[in-house]
Structure 1
């Protein structure tokens, strides 16, 4: 029973490390080329996957996510939010000006 659990854990660790290695960009891999890491992970159970997880990939400090360089979502774009606020204020002002006799008190 214990051998079965150890075998399953070894396979799971190997699959996880292999998937992580394959998906990692070449610029973020340390030490060896990607193909060498894949061979190491597959051929050396426990040692290869653990070495990859601790040494092979350059990790970001503190779990920081890299900044996106693409377009910003509308709710995060300050120019979009400013224009939206101006449009809402303009529409409210126009609606108040069109309503007859509200400010007369009659």
Structure 2
């Protein structure tokens, strides 16, 4: 099953000016506490960690827990002094890992 992520951010920003980044990934976020219709406990399947890096340098990270809803949405502010590549990684249970990259143009 392919995972879908949506990342919203400006195409270009001014050097030193703060800008908002919004990111969400399609994921069920099963807590492991629910049971199926047959009474079988559904296994835990969570996104546990989100990281955003600018040219390899960590600029934002979040640890996620069972209380986070399906399709976790994160919004955060960044400030950059130079153009580069933003990379986004979601990691979770059962070997889940999803990567996205976006170019960042700083004027």
Higher percent of residues as strand: 2
* Structure ranking higher on relative contact order (CA contacts 8 Å, 6+ apart): 2
Same fold at TM > 0.5:
no
TM-score range, shorter chain: under 0.3
Higher percent of residues as helix: 1
Give the TM-score of the pair, scaled to structure 1.
Answer: 0.24
Higher Rg of the two aligned structures: 1
